[in-house]
Amino acid sequence: MSNYTQSEHFSLLSLILPKESVVTVSEAIGKAGASGIFEVSARGSVLNEGGFLQRMFPPPAPEQQLLQTLVPNDKVDAVTDAAVQAGNLNRVGAGAVFVIDCNDTRHTEKFPAPPSSSEDSNDSSGTYTADLEAICCICEIGIADDIAKAALQNGAPGPTVTFGEGGGVRDKIPLLRITKGPEKEFVWCVVDKNEADEIFADMARAGHISEPGRGFMYSIPVSSGIVNVSSVAATAAHGANMEQVIAAIDEIKGDKDWRATAAESAKSKAFKTNPLKDLIGLYCIVPRDNYSDVYDAILAAGAPGVSTNFGVMNDADAGEGDQAQNEEWALVYTSLGSANVDKVRDSVAKKIDEIGLDRAAFYTLPIPRALTYLGG
């Protein structure tokens, strides 16, 4: 088996950006110490606060980009600072940056990851500390807009939708593979923790996630970040839209506790089902040409399901002259009980060895709760 550099001192830094600011922000975080920046095309989700005609003919979903990169803990603040300044992310509607602590990471020598510090602490200044939760819902094509609308109506900052593939044990049965395609949509949003239960429940309800074959959703704790993703398409009739008004009240009040009344009234809508608890998300990043080997290896090792997002990687194979390649890559991942993580990861690493791939990385994230159809 190939030698992997292992560390418990990395975080996953994610950005949601309008397309026009991606290059500027990518260059800024690269200079601050990030490398191997994985970019996925996405679309935003907005509510229309205009009149009848505006609601009948809503504006097109805004183009966005989801960026993710593994950052050593001692560089998280510097990279976050660079992203905020380059993308003006402290302004309403400018985008989002948020950080999730990895359980551990492993990568080959040629994978574009920055060197890790051996420090246990991330030396965080606390500037971006926030009580946030990231929610991801994987669903069939055509359902994402309903799920995103449910999140918006419950106060989630504009959910982001990406496209990819997903499958499970059904993929091992040839006849069933004919009847159900692997294409999936992924709905992502980052919300205040005290609002997460209601938003999670309404997203699950809108997507019928607890019914057979409907999908899978989960949440992950966020350690720090700023979320200013646009949620409203406003007309020019007012000097400020509702998003800006709410942000201004937050600033005047000094916190978001004044929103609690609405959150309390929604508690009766809690989803009546038992979520899965304390799973581990296992993620593998490889060039797109090799993703099917990883996808199949995850299923063959006994994982209940697998999902894939496709994008490009900045500086994936710089070589002489440090010229960025913008090569297509894939992020392949699954959710497992903690007892099965090593088995599945070792099986995938063995397959990576067999095909002679020398650019790959693994990382794991905590998944406190997840929801899908469990049968019975």
pLDDT tens digit sequence for 170-201:
555 444 443 334 799 999 999 999 999 999 99
- Would you call 314 helix, strand, or coil by DSSP? strand
Contact 228, 91 (CB under 8 A): yes
Axis-axis angle for helices 193-207, 144-153 (nearest 10): 140
pTM: 0.84
- Both structure tokens of 221: 């704790």
Q: pLDDT tens for residues 56-101?
A: 545 556 899 999 999 999 999 999 999 999 999 999 889 999 999 9
User: How high is the pLDDT of residue 233?
Assistant: 47
**CATH number of the domain where residue 159 is located:** 3.30.70.120
Tell whether 350 is covered by a domain. Answer: no
User: How high is the pLDDT of residue 3?
Assistant: 84
Tell whether 357 is covered by a domain. Answer: no
Q: Smallest Cα–Cα separation from 187: which of 141, 148, 140?
A: 148
Q: How many CB atoms lie within 10 A of CB 43?
A: 18
Within 8 A by CB and 6+ apart from 312, the residues are 38, 39, 326, 327, 328, 329
Neighbour-count burial for 354-364, b at 16+ CB within 10 Å, e otherwise: eeebebbbbbb
Tell whether 295 is covered by a domain. Answer: no
Domain that holds residue 30: 5-277
Within 8 A by CB and 6+ apart from 202, the residues are 150, 151, 153, 154, 269, 271
Tell whether 370 is covered by a domain. Answer: no
User: How high is the pLDDT of residue 237?
Assistant: 47
Tell whether 313 is covered by a domain. Answer: no
In the chain, how many domains are there? 1
Tell whether 107 is covered by a domain. Answer: yes
| Low-confidence spans in the chain with pLDDT less than 50 | 51-55, 57, 173-181, 233-245, 261-268, 318-324
Tell whether 143 is covered by a domain. Answer: yes
Tell whether 344 is covered by a domain. Answer: no
